[in-house]
Amino acid sequence: MNDTTSTSRRRLKEARPQQLLDAALELFVEKGFAATRAEEVAQRAGVSKGTLYLYYPSKEELLKAVIREHLSSRIAAGAAAAEQHRGPVAELLREVFSRWWLEVFDSPTSGVFKLVITEVRNFPEIAEFYLNEVIRPAEELVAGIVQRGIHSGEFESLDIPNVVHSLCLPMVMLCVHKHSVGACTEHRVGFEPHEFVRAHVDLIVRGLLRTRGARRAAAA
Amino acid sequence: MNDTTSTSRRRLKEARPQQLLDAALELFVEKGFAATRAEEVAQRAGVSKGTLYLYYPSKEELLKAVIREHLSSRIAAGAAAAEQHRGPVAELLREVFSRWWLEVFDSPTSGVFKLVITEVRNFPEIAEFYLNEVIRPAEELVAGIVQRGIHSGEFESLDIPNVVHSLCLPMVMLCVHKHSVGACTEHRVGFEPHEFVRAHVDLIVRGLLRTRGARRAAAA
Amino acid sequence: MNDTTSTSRRRLKEARPQQLLDAALELFVEKGFAATRAEEVAQRAGVSKGTLYLYYPSKEELLKAVIREHLSSRIAAGAAAAEQHRGPVAELLREVFSRWWLEVFDSPTSGVFKLVITEVRNFPEIAEFYLNEVIRPAEELVAGIVQRGIHSGEFESLDIPNVVHSLCLPMVMLCVHKHSVGACTEHRVGFEPHEFVRAHVDLIVRGLLRTRGARRAAAA
Amino acid sequence: MNDTTSTSRRRLKEARPQQLLDAALELFVEKGFAATRAEEVAQRAGVSKGTLYLYYPSKEELLKAVIREHLSSRIAAGAAAAEQHRGPVAELLREVFSRWWLEVFDSPTSGVFKLVITEVRNFPEIAEFYLNEVIRPAEELVAGIVQRGIHSGEFESLDIPNVVHSLCLPMVMLCVHKHSVGACTEHRVGFEPHEFVRAHVDLIVRGLLRTRGARRAAAA
DNA sequence: AATGAATGAGGGTTCATTCAT
DNA sequence: AATGAATGAACCCTCATTCAT
């Protein structure tokens, strides 16, 4: 057992799960779980059908692994940023959304939203997972920020859950759209998602601000 | 053959396709197209497997029929309402969204959004259809209203496509959610979709309005 | 729905399970359960692979059905005969064994012994079944007869379970042999199973009889 | 490389095939050839899957090796004993059967009977082997003894092949039973195989003996 | 010699679709 | 028009066997 050789095999073996997860995510998002053949996943990962089953005991377990991998809370970072933030809350909102957006929308993770939507009804365990790892933390994070704005007098005192949804749902919907209708057409050539995020947060913030003075500051 | 039976039979016969479409919509939305068995659809429609194939030549054609049926533009009505509207544009926005919402969210049609998202990638013809019958008309309708608000000086002159998305995407996302994660959990017991629509439009309108005076009027 | 036509379809449908059971018994006995392909069974039954699964939910259930079918106690008949018998017990033994032999050895049922032996370890439910339906009733029947012979003074008072085994085990072994080694060679051309049964019972009876007089009677 | 390790390694290496054969016998007897995975055999032998194939070119060859190993005539010993025997033939029969029984029934070899029965139909070469190495020599041995008894006037002149079967088949059947139904249930708790052998041979001998006097001698 | 990762043919099972009734 | 038995292509998964290390 010399180190070099055994290492090259080990490296291969250690890389497999990620290769398989990546391939699976792509295909499950694209075609749906049921319509994706296990062999396709293997092929796209560059291995044979049998190899897939060395790493995951069934197609279903592969699905769950794919989802689990991408839902490990990316939200912690946002929470940390929120805590350290000083200055106008409006600014914080823009920052948090932009950052999340950069990390999610352009990465394969954005596909997981479509995947979850597509498959929860068939695999209800996913729902609990998604709720605990994504929805709940995200809502808490955003609700906390809005609450801060209200408390500081910066924002009007509106119903917080509603505001949270107004802020977040379009983001999620764009992720979903990107991997469904958006992948099939060149609709709205001029539409630029990244610009939209900023515009959307700005628009909502304008709706939240209490005074004309504050609104001017936000627009600055 | 007495009249009654022949009449009731004819009615039955004419009702068949609708029963099948209804059953198919339910199941395709719930489990996805690939995971739904043709026989299940037949069963839920109260007919036999063979009968399904008397009305639709294949499962795929059934899917397309289901989607086609529900996408026949419900938007015309909104457009008509918009044309006839007099008074503040903010009011019109609220009315159009509320009305659409009543007609769509609580009806089976809301499931079509999930269905389209789930299946476009496998049946790209759906994309074109969806674009022409739903996205484009809806965007034009809403864009037209916003444009009217800007033109009349009621709204700030913001980028219209972005505003349209801020307004519409949460609506669509709620439809999708209702039939995916929402069907699996009792998350956010206090959240009331109908109330949200009003709050969301109000929030966006607050963001759109130009003057404090106008904003007060909108809040009235 | 006229009677003739619907009857012909029904007749076909009703005949399927038996056709499948027969084919399955043959093949399972010949090749073993694991080495028999479901499609082979279907083919030998004259139907397609899919049809098998219309009647049995899995290969394993087919196996159990095959075994269940043949173990429905054929022993009741023997018991009845035993009850009505008058005259020397030796005669009764000969009769019961000959009759059972005729009904089992030359029929496909003889294969079930090999099948049970081959598969119990993999499907332990079979064991209980076999014990209750075959071993126990058979032992009781034969033990009862021997007991009668002892009680009447015809037979020496030997250990009954041992005698039962001396009587029965060779019968079972011949069934098993017929479907294993016996099916592969022309070993012992002169050996005639039917004649053996008689000789075997006679030999055992000679061992059981108490007096030379009784022995002579038995030999008659 | 010190002596100890190289020696122990050599011993290990030489022991490998035996470990594999032992493991294979156990598993093939328990689950059948087709249902046993090559890797299981390797595992139970304490080696890796690959190693198995260093010693046997295929699973099938392993099966044949297992059977060949255990069928190398244990019968020669019996023949020798028979030749040297002086005194009543009845005694010799008891001795030969008891000895064979001790060597076979309690050893793993008893499983080979089940294995042969289970697999001959799929590997007919086994049949020839089994016939030449087991059936024929055993029958000759026992037939010879019975013949001696008849010739000496001790036994009645009955059909020898039939007597041989009456004597031997229960023995084989018990071996088979031990590894099939017997391994699955606690049926007949009171039944003691070793005692049965003696009782069985006695019973047959009683049937064979010519005179009451001889019978008494046999019982002694 | 030994390992165990990788392969891919093979077999169990499902299900869209057909067609005799 | 309606049924549902039958089909067989397709897909998930297993496992004997190979081979680089």
pLDDT digit of tens for each residue in chain C (220 aa)? 444 455 777 888 889 999 999 999 999 999 999 999 999 999 999 999 999 999 999 999 999 999 999 987 778 888 888 889 999 999 999 999 999 999 899 999 999 999 999 999 999 999 999 999 999 999 999 999 999 999 999 999 999 999 999 999 999 999 999 999 999 987 666 788 999 999 999 999 999 998 655 455 555 5
Taking CB atoms and an 8 Å cutoff, what residues of chain C touch D176? Answer: 117, 173, 176
Q: What distances in angstroms separate CA B108 from CA C104, C215, D143, one per listed residue?
A: 63, 90, 86
Q: What is the pLDDT of residue B92?
A: 95
Spell out a b/e string for A142-165, using b for 16 or more CB atoms within 10 Å of the CB, else e. beebbbbbbeeebbbebebbbbbb
pLDDT-above-90 percentage for chain D: 75
Residues in chain C within 8 Å Cβ distance of D177: 117
The B 43-62 residues near strand F by Cβ under 7 Å are 47-51, 53-54
Angstroms from A17 CA to nearest CA on chain B:
26
Residue D20, min C-alpha distance to chain C (Å): 21
The alpha-carbon radius of gyration of chain D (Å, integer) is: 21
CB B158 within 8 A of CB A203: yes
Q: From the CB coordinates, do chains D and C have 3 or more pairs under 8 Å?
A: yes
How many C-beta atoms lie closer than 10 Å to residue A82's C-beta?
18
Residue-level pLDDT at D1: 42
In this predicted structure, which of A27-31, C17-21, D57-61, D186-190 has the lowest mean pLDDT?
D186-190
Residues 9-48 of C with CB under 7 A from strand E: 9, 36-39
Q: Are D92 and D82 in contact (CB under 8 A)?
A: yes
Compute the distance between CA of residue A137 and CA of residue A164 in angstroms, rounded to an integer.
12
Q: What is the pLDDT, as a whole number, of residue C189?
A: 62
Q: How far is CA A167 from the centre of its chain?
A: 15
Measured CA B134 to C1' E9 distance, in angstroms: 49
**Residue D29: which of D183, D136, D197, D173 has the closest Cα?**
D183
- % of chain B at pLDDT higher than 90: 76
Query: Taking residues D210-215, what's their average pLDDT?
Result: 59
Q: How many beta-carbon pairs below 8 A join chains A and B?
A: 168
Give the span between the Cα atoms of B217 and C62, in whole angstroms.
77
What tokens does C59 get?
Answer: 């290969």
Q: Which residue has the higher pLDDT, D117 or B4?
A: D117
The pLDDT assigned to A211 comes to: 64
pLDDT at A186: 77
Q: Which residue has the tokens 């000086």?
A: B153
Find tokens 């196996």 and name the residue. Answer: C63
Q: Do D118 and C118 count as a contact with CB atoms less than 8 A apart?
A: yes
| pLDDT, position B27 | 98
Residue C217's contacts (CB-CB under 8 Å, 6 or more residues apart) are: C88, C90
- Asked whether strand F has any atom less than 7 Å from the CB of B38, the reply is no
What is the phi-psi region of residue A86: left when phi exceeds 0, alpha when psi lies from -120 to 50, beta otherwise? Answer: beta
Q: Based on C-alpha coordinates, what's the Rg of chain C?
A: 21
Spatial distance between the Cα atoms of A91 and A95, rounded to a whole number of angstroms = 6
Q: Tell whether the torsion through CA atoms of B149, B153, B154 and B155 is positive or negative.
A: positive
CA of A191 to C1' of E6 (A): 47
Positions in chain E where some atom is under 7 Å from a protein CB: 1-21
- Determine whether the distance from the CB of C43 to the nearest atom of strand F is below 7 Å: no
Distance A34 CA to F19 C1' (A): 35
Q: CA C13, CA C8: separation in Å to the nearest integer?
A: 9
- The string of pLDDT tens digits covering residues B51-98 is 999 999 999 999 999 999 998 777 888 888 899 999 999 999 999 999
DSSP lists the bridge partners of residue C209 as C155
What is the predicted pLDDT for the residue at D4? 46
Q: Is the CB of A37 under 7 A from strand F?
A: yes
**Strand E reaches within 7 A of the D15 CB:** no
- Choose the mutation target among C180, C185, C188, C200 for the interface with D, i.e. most D CBs under 10 Å: C180
pTM for the whole structure: 0.91
- Contacts of residue B67, defined as CB under 8 A and 6 or more positions apart, other chains included, come to B112, B115, B116, B126, B129, B130
Give the model confidence (pLDDT) of A89-136 as tens digits: 999 999 999 999 998 999 999 999 999 999 999 999 999 999 999 999
Which residues of chain A does B202 touch, with a Cβ-Cβ cutoff of 8 Å?
207
Mean pLDDT of chain D: 89
Neighbours of D71 (CB within 10 A): 18
Which portions of chain A are predicted below pLDDT 50?
1-4, 214
Q: How far is CA B220 from CA A156, A214, B91, D94, in A?
A: 16, 22, 10, 113
Q: Which of strand F's nucleotides are less than 7 A from any protein C-beta? A: 1-21
pLDDT of residue B2: 44
**Structure token digits, residue B206:** 């607050």
Q: Is the CB of A41 under 7 A from strand E?
A: no
Per residue in D142-156, pLDDT tens? 999 999 999 999 999
Task: Report DSSP letters for D67-83, one per residue.
Answer: HHHHHS-SHHHHHHHHH
Closest-approach nucleotide to residue A6, Cα vs C1' = F21
Task: Dump pLDDT digits (tens) for D116-152.
Answer: 999 999 999 999 999 999 999 999 999 999 999 999 9
pLDDT for the residue numbered D138: 93
Query: If 0-12 CB within 10 Å is exposed, 13-18 middle and 19+ buried, where does residue A11 land?
Result: exposed
How would DSSP label each residue in chain D? Answer: --HHHHHHHHHHHHHHHHHHHHHHHHHHHHH-STTS-HHHHHHHHTS-HHHHHHH-SSHHHHHHHHHHHHHS-SHHHHHHHHHH--S-HHHHHHHHHHHHHHHHTTSTHHHHHHHHHHHTTT-THHHHHHIIIIIHHHHHHHHHHHHHHHHTTSB----HHHHHHHHHHHHHHHHHHHTTGGGT----TT--HHHHHHHHHHHHHHHHB-SHHHHHHHH-
Burial class (CB in 10 A: 0-12, 13-18, 19+), A108: middle
A72 touches strand E (CB under 7 A): no
Phi-psi domain of C187 (left: phi exceeds 0; alpha: psi -120 through 50; beta: other): beta
Q: What is d(CA C95, CA D11) in angstroms, rounded to the nearest whole number?
A: 60
State the average pLDDT over residues B3-15.
55
Backbone angles phi, psi at D175, to 5 degrees: -60, -50
Would you give the DSSP letter of residue C124? T
Question: What is the Cα–Cα distance from D5 to A115, expressed in whole angstroms?
Answer: 57
Two structure tokens written together for D114: 């089940």
For residue D47, which phi and psi values (nearest 5 degrees)? -125, 180
Within 7 Å: CB of C107 and strand E?
no
Our answer on whether D and A touch (3+ beta-carbon pairs < 8 Å) is: no
Angle (CA) C93 C97 C100, round 5°: 140
Q: Residue D173's CB: how many other CB atoms inside 10 A?
A: 23
CB atoms within 10 A of CB A104: 19
Q: Do B203 and A204 touch (CB under 8 A)?
A: yes
Torsion angles phi and psi, residue D166, rounded to 5: -60, -35
